[in-house]
């Protein structure tokens, strides 16, 4: 569902802008000034709300998976870089920047933070109010909320880089296949 955001005292109404080379599943919800760049895919039930803070920008060839929520506080914005994966159920709450080629795992939360390029945020991690440099690994189910904690983070491994690249490749192919199904309405269950 695509919806304009209401005009309020701090901003005019805004509308989603989606590249013709991107794919947004019909059950995803985009409200307000959401900008989706070439090659991006927004999977079922993702919610991207630019009705309070704006804009929310999704970079080229990025995949926003099922159940992801992206929102922003008044006066802030969210920028998701190129070739980023936001896995199932992740929450991004801005103001926030996610650098290019970063992987954000299942149910991870990134709040009011700046994440560098090529980071790997494992499943269930909570990142709040910090700046994380390029190439860092954030372990699953951990909370990172101080720069002291950031200074102790390890770099990502080749295995993690390979995993992130594979997620991008698989989702890129899914994007192409889903576009065919949706545009041809070839989604009937066999036997119907």
Looking from the CA of 93 toward its CB, the CA atoms found within 13 Å total 11
Q: What is the dihedral of CA 130, 135, 138, 143, to 10 degrees?
A: 0
H-run or E-run covering 63: strand 63-64
Q: Among 33, 52, 79, 158, which one carries the catalytic annotation?
A: 52
DSSP code, position 189: P
Closest CA to 54 of 14, 82, 81, 24: 14
Q: How far apart are CA 152 and CA 149, in angstroms?
A: 5
Contact predicate 162/145, CB 8 Å? no
State yes or no: is 131 an active-site residue. Answer: no
CB neighbours of residue 75 within 10 Å: 12
Active site residues: 52
């Amino acid at each position: 569902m695509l919806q304009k955001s209401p005009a309020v005292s701090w901003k005019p109404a805004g509308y989603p802008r989606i590249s013709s080379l991107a794919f947004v599943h019909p059950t995803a919800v985009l409200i307000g000034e959401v900008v989706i760049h070439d090659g991006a895919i927004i999977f079922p039930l993702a919610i991207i709300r630019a009705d309070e803070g704006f804009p929310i920008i999704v970079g080229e060839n990025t995949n926003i998976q099922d159940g992801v929520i992206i929102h922003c506080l008044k006066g802030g914005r969210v920028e998701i870089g190129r070739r980023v994966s936001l896995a199932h159920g992740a929450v991004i709450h801005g103001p926030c920047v996610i650098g290019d080629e970063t992987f954000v795992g299942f149910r991870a939360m990134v709040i009011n933070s700046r994440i560098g390029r090529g980071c790997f945020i494992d499943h269930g991690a909570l990142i709040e109010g910090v700046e994380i440099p390029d190439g860092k690994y954030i372990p699953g189910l951990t909370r990172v909320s101080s720069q002291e904690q950031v200074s102790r983070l390890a770099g990502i491994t080749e295995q993690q880089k390979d995993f992130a690249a594979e997620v991008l490749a698989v989702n890129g192919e899914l994007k192409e296949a889903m576009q065919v199904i949706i545009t041809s309405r070839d989604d009937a269950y066999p036997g119907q």
